[in-house]
């Protein structure tokens, strides 16, 4: 059974739009019925433009915000945002790495204290000497020097701060990491080092992860499967080789065509999408991608396509309605 199992998950927000005295009330469908599995020790990459619902998915999976509908199970147990003892026990097994390491760290505390903080909270009986040793091990594992233990976050570089965040996330030996844009705030030259570190740590420690990024190159490097999101929906999901070498959904094709790689130069033309993603408050009827889709047909304007298994992947697009269907994830 999958370690993380998400079924028909929805998160809608009540928002007020400009107009009238108080503004018009409307529903913003940030996540609008997504289903996926993450197997033990594997990484699912979640990719899509800004505002498609990636971070909302991360918060739902960790039980930081409640869902409006659908279910999440972690190791067979339901994940809710109840913040009770069961949730706390589960949260020590599921940790998060954030985009902005400085914002996630306490400026007034030396980094060793911050790395050891989860041990103080979750294992208060641990001897101080053992905790110090464990923090030293964690610092070494992420490539921080022992003599940096007393440093404050502002004394470190962006890459080193992200290493502190990673060490803290690993303090309790989690089974699952949610990485939300973990390198997008770093210099390009540092990004590769942090990604390689995450890969090494995953190989050594065997944790599974949900890896969120708007950058397809990064997602390709880090993931065993990739899910492409558009306006709160998964439109294509499958192994990276299939997604990147032979994308089936027109949106994935456009994203992949924009990756600047020497191998692709001259072979596939860049598909330039017209317009920005529509507002999730006023989602287009039918296929939500139809106003920007170069292949849109009449049916696309009226009937939402279902996410259907084709070979090793799932695709939501009427262009593939005739292809034989495969069942890739259990119905519930
Ligand atoms: P980004 O990379 O820019 O963070 P994202 O793909 O992670 O984008 P989300 O942050 O999940 O997207 O946001 C999805 C949609 O939900 C956006 O339209 C966003 O404005 C909206 N949204 C997120 N949080 C709230 C909230 N608390 N109240 C109202 N709308 C929200
Ligand atoms: Fe384009 Fe239609 Fe496929 Fe949507 S369903 S991606 S509009 S062809």
Residue ranges per structural domain of the chain: 2-93+174-233
> What's the CA-to-centroid distance between 32 and ligand 2, angstroms?
18
What share of the chain has pLDDT > 70, as a percent?
Answer: 96
Cβ–ligand 1 contact at 15 (below 6 Å)? yes
Question: Mean pLDDT over residues 1-13, rounded?
Answer: 96
Bridge-based pairing state of the strands 313-315 and 94-97: unpaired
Name the closest ligand to CA 294: 2
Cα 227 to Cα 207: distance, rounded to the nearest angstrom: 19
Q: Which atom of ligand 2 is nearest to the CA of 300?
A: 2
Q: Which atom of ligand 2 is nearest to the CA of 235?
A: 6
Cβ–ligand 2 contact at 247 (below 6 Å)? no
Mean of the per-residue pLDDT values of the chain? 92
Query: What is residue 327's predicted lDDT score, i.e. its pLDDT?
Result: 78
Contact 167, 139 (CB under 8 A): yes
Residue 33 has pLDDT above 80, yes or no: yes
The position carrying tokens 């803290």 is: 168
Cα 331 to Cα 71: distance, rounded to the nearest angstrom: 12
> What's the CA-to-centroid distance between 28 and ligand 2, angstroms?
22
Query: What is residue 275's predicted lDDT score, i.e. its pLDDT?
Result: 76
Name the closest ligand to CA 320: 2
Cβ–ligand 2 contact at 295 (below 6 Å)? yes
Q: In the sheet where 77-78 sits, what is the strand order?
A: 24-38, 4-17, 69-74, 77-78
Q: In the sheet where 94-97 sits, what is the strand order?
A: 94-97, 176-180, 208-213, 43-47, 225-230, 233-238, 313-315, 308-310
Name the closest ligand to CA 228: 1
> What's the CA-to-centroid distance between 196 and ligand 1, angstroms?
28
295 compared with 267, residue with greater pLDDT: 295
Residue 217 has pLDDT above 60, yes or no: yes
**Prediction pTM value:** 0.93
Name the closest ligand to CA 235: 2
> What's the CA-to-centroid distance between 226 and ligand 1, angstroms?
20
Residue 286 has pLDDT above 70, yes or no: yes
Cα 244 to Cα 217: distance, rounded to the nearest angstrom: 9
Cβ–ligand 2 contact at 273 (below 6 Å)? no
Cβ–ligand 1 contact at 4 (below 6 Å)? no
Q: Which atom of ligand 2 is nearest to the CA of 301?
A: 7
266 compared with 132, residue with greater pLDDT: 132
Query: What is residue 100's predicted lDDT score, i.e. its pLDDT?
Result: 85
At residue 268 the predicted structure's pLDDT band, cuts being 50, 70 and 90, is low
> What's the CA-to-centroid distance between 98 and ligand 1, angstroms?
15
Cβ–ligand 2 contact at 304 (below 6 Å)? no
Query: What is the dihedral sign for C-alpha 218, 220, 224, 226?
Result: positive
> What's the CA-to-centroid distance between 218 and ligand 2, angstroms?
26
Q: Which atom of ligand 1 is nearest to the CA of 232?
A: 14
Tokens of 207: 């944790």
Query: What is residue 301's predicted lDDT score, i.e. its pLDDT?
Result: 97
Query: What is residue 273's predicted lDDT score, i.e. its pLDDT?
Result: 82
Q: Helix, strand or coil for residue 17?
A: strand
Cα 195 to Cα 199: distance, rounded to the nearest angstrom: 6
Cα 227 to Cα 224: distance, rounded to the nearest angstrom: 10
Residue 265 has pLDDT above 90, yes or no: no
Phi, psi (rounded to 5 degrees) for 229? -105, 145
| Ordered DSSP codes for 233-295 | EEEEEE-HHHHHHS--SHHHHHHHHTS--TTTTTTS---PPPSPPPPGGGPPSSSTTGGG-TT
Query: What is residue 278's predicted lDDT score, i.e. its pLDDT?
Result: 75
pLDDT tens column, 61-106: 999 999 999 999 999 999 999 889 999 999 999 999 988 888 899 9
Q: Does domain 2-93+174-233 have CATH number 3.40.50.300?
A: yes
pLDDT tens column, 127-150: 999 999 999 999 999 999 999 999
At residue 20 the predicted structure's pLDDT band, cuts being 50, 70 and 90, is low
At residue 325 the predicted structure's pLDDT band, cuts being 50, 70 and 90, is confident
Pocket test for ligand 2, best of 317, 320, 322, 323 (most atoms within 8 A of CB): 317
């Amino acid at each position: 059974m999958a370690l993380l199992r998400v079924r028909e998950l929805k998160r809608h927000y009540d928002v007020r739009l400009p107009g009238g005295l108080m503004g018009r009330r409307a529903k913003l469908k940030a996540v609008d019925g997504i289903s996926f599995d993450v197997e033990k020790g594997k990484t699912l990459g979640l990719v899509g433009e800004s505002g498609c619902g990636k971070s909302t998915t991360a918060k739902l999976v960790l039980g930081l915000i409640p869902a409006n509908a659908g279910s999440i199970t972690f190791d067979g147990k339901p994940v809710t945002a109840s913040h009770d003892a069961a949730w706390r026990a589960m949260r020590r097994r599921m940790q998060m790495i954030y985009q902005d390491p400085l914002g996630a760290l306490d400026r007034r505390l030396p980094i060793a204290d911050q790395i050891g903080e989860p041990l103080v909270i979750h294992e208060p009986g641990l001897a101080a000497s053992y905790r110090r040793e464990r923090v030293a091990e964690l610092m070494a594992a992420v490539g921080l020097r022992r003599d940096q233990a007393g440093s404050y976050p502002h004394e470190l570089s962006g890459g080193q701060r992200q290493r502190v965040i990673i060490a803290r996330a690993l303090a309790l030996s989690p089974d699952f990491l949610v990485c939300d844009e973990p390198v997008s705030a770093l210099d390009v030259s540092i990004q590769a080092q942090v990604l390689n570190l995450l890969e090494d740590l995953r190989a050594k420690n065997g944790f599974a992860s949900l890896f969120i990024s708007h950058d397809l190159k990064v997602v390709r490097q880090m993931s065993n499967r990739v899910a492409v999101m558009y306006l709160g929906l998964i439109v294509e999901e499958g192994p990276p080789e299939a997604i990147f070498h032979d994308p089936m959904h027109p949106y994935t094709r456009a994203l992949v065509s924009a990756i600047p790689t020497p191998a692709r130069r001259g072979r596939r033309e860049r598909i330039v999408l017209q317009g920005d993603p529509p507002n999730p408050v006023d989602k287009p009827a039918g296929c939500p991608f139809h106003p920007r889709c170069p292949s849109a047909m009449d049916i696309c304007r009226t009937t939402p396509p279902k996410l259907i298994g084709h070979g090793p992947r799932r695709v939501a697009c009427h262009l593939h309605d005739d292809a034989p269907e495969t069942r890739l994830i259990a119905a519930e």
